[in-house]
Structure 1
Amino acid sequence: MYEGRVRLLVLPLTLALVACPPEAAPTYGGLSVTSSKSSLAVTRGDKTLLDNTKVSTRVGRARYEMQYGSWKVTDSQNAANEAASFSWSSTTRDVATGAFVNADDAPLVNVEARSSGEGVLAITYTATDPATNRLTVSLRCEDADRFLGFGGQADAIDHRGHLVTMWTSEPGIGKQMEDDEYPALWMLVGTRHASSFGLPTWVSNRGYQGLVESDARSIFDVCKTDTGIFRIEVWANTFTLHVYEGEPKQAVERATAGLLGRPLQPPPLAFAPWNDAIFGSAEVRRFANFLRDNDIPSSAIWTEDFRGGRDEATGYRLIEEWDTDRTLYPDVEQVAADLAALGYSWQSYFNTFVVTETRIYAEGLAGGHLVGAADGGTGPYLYDGVTFKKTAMADLSRPETREWVKSYLRRSLDEGFTGWMADYGEWLPHDAKLFSGEDPLVAHNRYALEWAKLNQEVMLERTDGVQRLFFSRAGWVGSNKVTPVVWAGDQRTSFQKDDGLVTVIPMGINLGLAGVNTYAHDIAGYQSNTNPPSTKELFFRWTSLGALTPVMRTHHGIDARNNWNLEKDAETTAHYKRWAKFHIQLFPFFDALSAQAEATGVSTLRGLAVVSPGDDRAWTVSDEYCLGDDVLVAPVVDEGATSRTVYFPEGTWVQWGGSQRVTGPTEVVVQAPVGEIPVFVRAGAVVPRLPSRVDTLIPAAPPVVDLDDVKNERVVLVASGAAGSFIERDGTKYEVTTSSASDFTLPACASASQRGCVDGNVARLEGTTLTFPGGELTITGWPSRTYDVEVLGI
């Protein structure tokens, strides 16, 4: 199909040009918008943040091909109308207006600049010709420029030299790693930047974050076609370029205070291990008891086949109904009650697909709930769906349909489920007919946001204090405000560089730059259609990475009966147990970092550029990250490797669980046997943890140990060698200062129960202060707790 109409987002401005621009550059929010004969520049003092060197318009006509949630889009290359010069026509206290004109001095693109706060600028570009549907702004690109972000991008963090398209789609099974070419099997293999959660926002090392406000398809040519030009093409008549000044933390804070939104506070269970269990009531019960019997902590059991499932040639496939399969789960309410007593949140699965062979299809068709066929067609829009059967889609632009979908989510909650995967959201056809009458080319990217909103609305209806959440893989601008947890999607069950283990790291970093905080991925991956099932080595490596991610979550994968899992052998069970305990103990640390993210938008999982913005190398490292500013994680992502080179940003770093101490910036080879992962803590840092006996973070019946049972206990990690501090969500503050002390001031412990003593490098405090070799720790805010303090690096 070809593009039809293009709906105008705002009416074009009518501006009267004057012969001479104002003498002073318009300044809003402390940012000046200076103009020369043919360009605009945004500056702060003598620093240029961006330089808009060229503007052009054209009328395009694209051919869209869609299969399996992937698109091949071919655009006509019509001649562009280039602007010849720019001038301001009016400047007031609140807004400046001007225009780019063509060679005949006729207005081509009207410009409006305004601010909503300090360090924030919005520049709106509007083509004067209503027929324009390609509006391009070119920014100057310098040799040292870096461009991080663009949402859920999996191949890199610095996208300089890339062509990044914003059109929500299936990421693909594997990737074609050339920007400008579609693979032969484009309907299955993803393009380099195909993403479920692409976002038109980037962070620049010039000291700003940019965001394009438009739901239309957009293309970012990041100094690729022309190494001196960063070219933004939006397939609309108008868009707004938002500029948020500052180094990454400040810029992200300003950006997430606006359109991107701040992340939600998740319930505690988000930061506990989650596990999957399928194949019926008996198997779910068996696995839940296996975890408890083996002292393996977990707070969630995810059962995606609650709706039914069957083995097919392509793996274990779900039945695409929306209600519980009472053959597979005849006693669903009792299973839910049994799991709740053991301290588990039981989670199900939903999407908005409506497959023709199902009961739900007949119901949706009769109720008028399905997205309509393209212009000229009748009935619902049908395409080949995930089951390879003809599939329709719920029309979320229709209020009655939203209530219809919600009725099934509510039913799941009534049965005892306390959350679900809210899957997909990328498949809205480009030529569909919506109840709202909106242009599907504009509604397409926003469908994932509307799907998340609907889920959150249902969650907010329940006010009984039970911990509930859903998790999504697709999103758009604004999803932070309504999505509790984001997971990375369906990676390969492999070490492959295009779509395997390594890709979840840059994806988490890039999403974090847009304020996505509570991030997860499938341990050992999901897709095995074009690669073997997961191996023991992959499971080991991915488990330790999962333990050092905000959400630690297993998945059986599509090849559920052959993928490696935590029950395969005793060594694997022991390995998973060790790292699951490590993860759940980090709850106070993760919860505190989440509180920071909720307040500032700065995510828990941070690229090195966020913690060391003055270090150019930090802007390019895509296989390491920090938790907060002070815990450096360097996963092993190469099959067969038992060591890796780790880049250390500025500061002194102490190995967690080892004796190595490194001062950055530098590179060091670190040993990492298959069961280990390189983790370093910045000198002076504090990491508060729960005791190892905790089983779950939601209420449970004895003898299961829940969060309430251990709320007055902490096991605190302190890295010696510098001053530092950390504040928990509840206000408990840990402050480290340096001192000349050569030893602990407490005596050696004489028994396992004694307090006010030292056992090796662990001090069991009676109070809230500790002197240790080279430093002192003072704890304020919660004196009734007991504190065990482990000191690293002595």
Structure 2
Amino acid sequence: MRRVSTAVFRARRRRRRWPRRLLVCFVVFVLVAAAGLISWTRTFPSDDLDAVQPARLTFAPGVGGTRAQNIEAVVFGDRLQLQRDNRVVWTSPTNQSFVTAARSTVAYDEHRGYFWPQVDTTRSWTAQTVDSVRAEGNRIIVGGRLKGSPDVPYTMTVSPRGAGGLDVLLTTTSNAVDALGFQTGRTRGRGVHGFGEQFDSFDLSGRLIPLLVREQGVGRGEQPVTFLADATQRGAGGARSMTYAAYPTFVTDDLRGVRLAPSSPEAGAFGIADTRNSDRVGLQIWSRSLHLELTSADFASDLLAQQQGPVTRPTLAKWTQDGLIVGVQGGSAKVRDTVRRLKAAGVRVAGVWIQDWTGGRTTSFGDRLWWTWQPDPERYPDWKQLVGELQAQGVRTTTYVNPFLTDASGRPGTNLYAQAAARGYLIRDVDGQPYQQDQGGFSATMVDLTNPAARQWFSQVIAHHVLADGVVGFMADFAEGLPMDARLHSGDPRTLHNRWPKLWAETVKAGCAAAGRTDCVTWFRSGTPDMASDTPLFWTGDQLVTWSTDDGLASSLLGTFSAGVSGWALDHSDLGGYTSVDAVAKNYVRSPELLQRWGEVAAFGVVMRSHEGNRPAQNLQVYDPTQVAATARSSRIFAALAPYRATVLDEATRDGIPAVRHTWVNWPNTTAAANDRQFFLGQSVLVAPVLSEGSRTATVSFPPGTWVNIFTGRSYAGGATTNVPAPLGTPAAFVRADDPWLPKIQAALRAQSVR
């Protein structure tokens, strides 16, 4: 055997070491890069919340329950229970305080309408003593102390609520605190729902939810677009708890509800909802007084009707039920051609939505608008004639407006920005100048809606410019971005921030009235608890052109569900989604199947309105030659459902029960109520949309009874979860076999040639 010299052996060993050394170096590099990436992502803005946790509840010796006419407070030793007409309306958590207090500072990091609250609690009061429970006329007054240094006195006055349930006024006279907490007991593990429009699971247990109006984000967890938005636009990826409409309102599976009285000042205050403990729900509101409304019912729909109360809600104009409101822009010729081609293809066209009526501009985010609120003479030189021609064809025209103005120097028409600035009608920055807010490629300034003269002036702008020439409605965008450091005509922006959508809605309503438009169709994405009397319609904002539960088609349903049990009776989404982004690793554009499936969902909604999106040229449109057949079929399904949907809209307008609703509203405490991927239109029509690319089946959780597919006639047994066929063009939609609406709906579908 040949011997290998020591030198050769050592050389070979060194050569074998090099790959291992390279591998080690590579692993070290990856670990260092990952650590750096993690450290960098931690610099992205985020919420920092701190909610006070309740401690022990103690009743002073001799304290017992009492009755005042038909209301009663029952003391069990470890909890307090409130009743009306012998029905339990509310109970405190067992062995835990139901009133807490805190002294804390709330700072905000903000960027382009995104806000991240930073809560720093310096003192808290968590242990509660109830010193007295007494009747006084038709009221019950509960008094006591929160133990601390100093003790904090509180008074809770309970009285009958006109719409059912109980009114509770919780107050403290202590200046040591700036936030009060109210804890509600629930059966351990039972679900909690609401808190405004939450793009999250319908059961919001296990959450800490900031009650703050703000931009919802782009991606909200869907990757890689969320990381890209966070990295390049300073946190704009958003998170699950970010929403345009966060309300201090909830209902539970115990069929009880709690909300702050919508018209009370504290309903617009910053707050935190705490559902992390399975036996209670907490509201912590930055106010020293809370006007609470407590409700209870045997059925979920009755609970919602009782909680929402007798509100006079505007009705939705009947023409919106005739078919598609097509989103189209690009000039008069394109609008005319699009309507002509859609009608020729058999699409039921009820209206057009022309958002670029004021002119367009291109930014890094895509196609944007000139916020001048006057027709653009270049794109629409014959604007009045166009609107009139469409009206003659039975097609109504809707447009777009928001509460901002941009400097229109050099453009035709009146420079409304300059006019408003000269009159002092704009919000101001710390230097007293019009507050220029970065819109991503241009700046704009909000009209100061705390100034009565400014609101009157802007309502006239809406009446005489936006609603001129036969226009019948518009998207009323934004209102969630009032800066916390703005200088206003009156009031503190920190306490008015959550109220700004209400001021915007009142201004829009006044504009419609000034224009004589009693059936004005307006839709908002930002909201407050008391907007139901100001507008007939809401929409879920700017979803991605994807399927996802984070920020796509599925997320629009989740937002609709929670908004529906929080007071938004009529809600819808942009058909096809809005946000399209080239995230380098992935180009987010609509697929043909996504557009068709979104149309199928919209066919069972309250209105059917499409959007071209922020990058129209890169995305399929409902009017493209390859899509018009699917658009025609969905629009005809929508039209066929009009007689049934009219009864649903009447109920929603009268009682506040959501038209598009989670199964829980109709069938609480059933296995079907756990399914977040199906919905009801009203009481009768169950829809299980396909929410994933390539799927030709839908998973349906049927409530009790026998259910019939309205397209195929096939029957399915209730009380079971079943995979049912759902080919493109045939949504999985069902009505109970014993429901009188079944034959009527089937006949209407046949009349529209879609069955």
TM-score, with length taken from structure 1: 0.79
Matched with 2:73 is 33
* Contact 1:716/1:789 (8 A) holds in 2: no
Of the three residues 84, 92, 101, the one matched with 1:51 is: 92
* Partner SS, residue 305 of structure 1: helix
Residue pairs, 1:191-210, within 5 angstroms: 191-210=239-258
Of the three residues 416, 421, 443, the one matched with 2:470 is: 416
The whole-number CA distance in structure 2 between the counterparts of 1:118 and 1:533 is: 47
The whole-number CA distance in structure 2 between the counterparts of 1:333 and 1:156 is: 46
CA separation of 1:371 and 1:763: change in aligned 2, threshold 3 A: closer
Residue pairs, 1:438-477, within 5 angstroms: 438-463=491-516, 467-477=519-529
Establish whether residue 78 from structure 1 lines up as the match of residue 128 from structure 2: no
* Contact 1:99/1:107 (8 A) holds in 2: no
Of the three residues 108, 113, 129, the one matched with 1:69 is: 113
Establish whether residue 716 from structure 1 lines up as the match of residue 744 from structure 2: yes
Matched with 2:610 is 554
Distance apart, 1:123 and its partner CA? 1.6
Residue identity matched to 2:645: F
Matched with 2:301 is 249
CA separation of 1:234 and 1:448: change in aligned 2, threshold 3 A: same
* Contact 2:132/2:144 (8 A) holds in 1: no
Distance apart, 1:464 and its partner CA? 7.3
Distance apart, 1:326 and its partner CA? 1.1
Establish whether residue 163 from structure 1 lines up as the match of residue 216 from structure 2: no
Of the three residues 260, 266, 275, the one matched with 2:326 is: 275
Q: List gaps (5 residues or longer) in structure 1.
A: 1-16, 689-714, 719-761, 765-786
Matched with 2:706 is 652
Distance apart, 1:415 and its partner CA? 2.4
Q: CA RMSD in A?
A: 2.9
* Partner SS, residue 316 of structure 1: strand
Matched with 2:380 is 329
Of the three residues 554, 558, 561, the one matched with 1:502 is: 554
Of the three residues 128, 142, 162, the one matched with 2:173 is: 128
The whole-number CA distance in structure 2 between the counterparts of 1:229 and 1:614 is: 18
Matched with 1:298 is 349
Distance apart, 1:200 and its partner CA? 1.7
* Contact 1:71/1:186 (8 A) holds in 2: no
* Partner SS, residue 32 of structure 1: strand
Q: Does 561-570 or 211-220 show the bigger shift? A: 561-570
Residues 557-593 of structure 1: per-residue CA shift (max 9 Å, x gap): 00111111123334x2111101101101221111111
The whole-number CA distance in structure 2 between the counterparts of 1:474 and 1:524 is: 20
CA separation of 1:330 and 1:111: change in aligned 2, threshold 3 A: same
Establish whether residue 265 from structure 1 lines up as the match of residue 324 from structure 2: no
Residues 127-151 of structure 1: per-residue CA shift (max 9 Å, x gap): 2212422211233343331111222
Residue identity matched to 1:576: T
Distance apart, 1:72 and its partner CA? 1.4
* Partner SS, residue 665 of structure 1: coil
* Partner SS, residue 104 of structure 2: coil
Q: Does 107-116 or 477-486 show the bigger shift? A: 107-116
Identical pairs, percent: 24
The whole-number CA distance in structure 2 between the counterparts of 1:306 and 1:614 is: 48
Residues 68-119 of structure 1: per-residue CA shift (max 9 Å, x gap): 1111111113230224311335421222223231347955322111122374
Of the three residues 571, 579, 589, the one matched with 1:533 is: 589
Of the three residues 648, 656, 663, the one matched with 2:717 is: 663
* Contact 1:527/1:558 (8 A) holds in 2: yes
The whole-number CA distance in structure 1 between the counterparts of 2:197 and 2:330 is: 32
The whole-number CA distance in structure 1 between the counterparts of 2:176 and 2:748 is: 72
Matched with 2:289 is 238
The whole-number CA distance in structure 2 between the counterparts of 1:299 and 1:659 is: 29
The whole-number CA distance in structure 1 between the counterparts of 2:230 and 2:336 is: 44
Establish whether residue 88 from structure 1 lines up as the match of residue 154 from structure 2: no
Establish whether residue 565 from structure 1 lines up as the match of residue 616 from structure 2: no
Q: Does 510-519 or 664-673 show the bigger shift? A: 510-519
The whole-number CA distance in structure 2 between the counterparts of 1:38 and 1:320 is: 59
The whole-number CA distance in structure 1 between the counterparts of 2:555 and 2:692 is: 12
* Partner SS, residue 448 of structure 1: helix
* Partner SS, residue 398 of structure 2: strand
The whole-number CA distance in structure 2 between the counterparts of 1:60 and 1:481 is: 34
CA separation of 1:203 and 1:41: change in aligned 2, threshold 3 A: same
Matched with 2:419 is 363
* Contact 1:83/1:108 (8 A) holds in 2: no
Distance apart, 1:433 and its partner CA? 2.2
The whole-number CA distance in structure 2 between the counterparts of 1:74 and 1:763 is: 54
Distance apart, 1:519 and its partner CA? 2.0
Distance apart, 1:413 and its partner CA? 2.1
* Contact 1:716/1:788 (8 A) holds in 2: no
* Contact 2:709/2:733 (8 A) holds in 1: yes
Establish whether residue 397 from structure 1 lines up as the match of residue 450 from structure 2: yes
Residues 710-750 of structure 1: per-residue CA shift (max 9 Å, x gap): xxxxx9236xxxxxxxxxxxxxxxxxxxxxxxxxxxxxxxx
Matched with 1:610 is 665
Establish whether residue 586 from structure 1 lines up as the match of residue 672 from structure 2: no
Establish whether residue 173 from structure 1 lines up as the match of residue 173 from structure 2: no
Matched with 1:576 is 631
The whole-number CA distance in structure 2 between the counterparts of 1:598 and 1:495 is: 30
User: Per residue, is there more helix in 1 or in 2?
Assistant: 2
Matched with 2:10 is none
CA separation of 1:265 and 1:661: change in aligned 2, threshold 3 A: same
**How many aligned residue pairs are there?**
670
Matched with 2:199 is 154
Matched with 2:565 is 513
Residue identity matched to 1:588: P
* Contact 1:373/1:380 (8 A) holds in 2: yes
* Contact 1:248/1:613 (8 A) holds in 2: yes
Residue identity matched to 1:647: S
The whole-number CA distance in structure 1 between the counterparts of 2:477 and 2:77 is: 50
Distance apart, 1:490 and its partner CA? 0.6
* Contact 1:322/1:350 (8 A) holds in 2: yes
Of the three residues 107, 111, 115, the one matched with 2:160 is: 115
* Contact 1:202/1:210 (8 A) holds in 2: yes
Distance apart, 1:675 and its partner CA? 2.7
* Contact 1:31/1:42 (8 A) holds in 2: yes
* Contact 1:166/1:217 (8 A) holds in 2: yes
Distance apart, 1:512 and its partner CA? 1.7
* Partner SS, residue 316 of structure 2: coil
CA separation of 1:251 and 1:277: change in aligned 2, threshold 3 A: same
Q: Does 487-496 or 347-356 show the bigger shift? A: 347-356
Distance apart, 1:671 and its partner CA? 1.5
Matched with 1:101 is 145
* Contact 1:208/1:243 (8 A) holds in 2: yes
The whole-number CA distance in structure 2 between the counterparts of 1:218 and 1:620 is: 28
The whole-number CA distance in structure 2 between the counterparts of 1:81 and 1:177 is: 39
Distance apart, 1:789 and its partner CA? 13
Matched with 1:212 is 260
The whole-number CA distance in structure 2 between the counterparts of 1:207 and 1:355 is: 48
* Contact 1:426/1:448 (8 A) holds in 2: yes
CA separation of 1:788 and 1:392: change in aligned 2, threshold 3 A: closer
Residue identity matched to 2:493: P
